[in-house]
Amino acid sequence: MTTPDTSAALPFEEHASALERIGSGPRSLGRFLVQKKLGGLGLVIVIFFTVITILSGVVDRYEPDFIFDRDNPGFLANPTIPQLAADPDIGSPRVVDQFIEPSSKHWFGTDKFGRDIYSRVIHGTKLSLIIGFGASLIAVVSGLIIGVVSAYYLGWLDLIIQRAIDAVYAFPFIVLILLIVQIAEPSTRNVVIALGFGGIPFATRLVRSATLSVRGAEYVQAARVIGATDLRIMVRHVLPNIGAVLIIAFSIGIGAFILAEATISFLGAGPRGEISWGKMVSTGRAALDLHPWESVFAGSAITLLVMAFNLLGDAMRDVLDPRLRGR
């Protein structure tokens, strides 16, 4: 009995894909952390926030929507009108613990409605991560399909596709997102879709220029000569060689989408009913001069997470494609 010759089934032009350059397994991860210290820091922060999201019910200390209150020392059962005018709370036996300064009980203080800010920041992590990964995935996958097709066929198709991409790019990004989000109700899913759509031009341009640089390569010509179909060439020969660009676009996109979600939430058009850091910065502005803590902590969380993804993206770009450095 002869064993089937599997080597013939392998694609004859196997080339080291970009992924192999960083390798896999714990050892190369360790190398990445040592060589790219900032990237390593970014990775650690991202993992930290991911763990926080998973364990949010354990580390949050309080329910995010629980309203803290206390006994009203000046409570009067039947206040007169002038007394009520002087202190509107006088008629209620308990008052909301609003705007408490950071303390051991409330690490980040409480907000206007007497809710624990620390707990709300913890629970806000989930939305940012979902938005970042989801929108970046949509943008990169759509950008991949559009970019490869556009660069592979060129000609009229490319010209028209690129003008459409230019149009989406020229459309003010925030307006585009606000419009799409309003078409349906502003749920997390719809915000992810809207942001992903808005990110297509960036992903498409990266993929297109990467595809242009490989489409004339000898292995692509060779594949064409032996009669490979266009689809086969695109999937088996072009795709593996633009993998680096895809990973770079994906990782850099995440930070940008988190920032964009925070912006539309700040403007009051974010996902409804979710705890969002952008929305927290906005509600914290109600009493900014006296009680800035909600804005300060929520904004710090946005900055830290976006910074972590940017650092990680930069490091991955340096490792995967040194030519793109500084772009």
Partner 1 sequence: MQQYIIRRAVLNVFVLFIVATMVFFAVQVLPGNFATQQFASANLGGVTPESIARAESVLGLDKPVVAQYGTFLWDLVQFDLGESFRSKRSVWSELGRAVPYSMELGFLIVLVGFSIAIPVGILSAVHQDKLPDYVLRGGAIFALAAPVFWTASIAVIFVLKWDLFKIDVTGQPHLWENPQTALQWYLIPMFAGGIAGTATTMRLLRSQMLEVLRQDYVVTARAKGLRERTIIMRHALRNAWLPVLTVMGLTIATIIGSQIVLEQMFNIPGVGRLLFQSIFLRDTPLLEGLVLVVAFVVVFTNLFVDVLYGLLDPRVRLA
Site for partner 1 in 281-300 (CB under 8 A): 281-282, 284-285, 288-289, 292, 295-296, 299
Residue 128 · residue 305 · CB < 8 Å = yes
End-to-end CA distance of the chain: 57
Calpha distance 111→247 (Å, rounded): 39
Least spacing, CB of residue 183 vs partner 1, in Å: 5
Site for partner 1 (CB under 8 A): which residue of 183, 225, 226, 231? 183
Nearer CB in complex with partner 1: 100/223: 100
Which string of x and - marks every residue 129-168 that binds partner 1 (by CB under 8 A)? ----------------------------------xx-xxx
Calpha distance 191→195 (Å, rounded): 6
User: H-helix or E-strand containing 60?
Assistant: none
Which string of x and - marks every residue 230-259 that binds partner 1 (by CB under 8 A)? -------------------------x---x
Calpha distance 241→176 (Å, rounded): 32
Residue 263 · residue 299 · CB < 8 Å = no
CA dihedral for 102, 103, 106, 112, sign (positive or negative): negative
Nearer CB in complex with partner 1: 76/307: 307
Q: Which residues of this chain interact with partner 1, rule CB under 8 A?
A: 38, 163-164, 166-175, 178-180, 182-183, 255, 259, 262-263, 266-267, 278, 281-282, 284-285, 288-289, 292, 295-296, 299, 302-304, 306-307, 310-311, 325-327
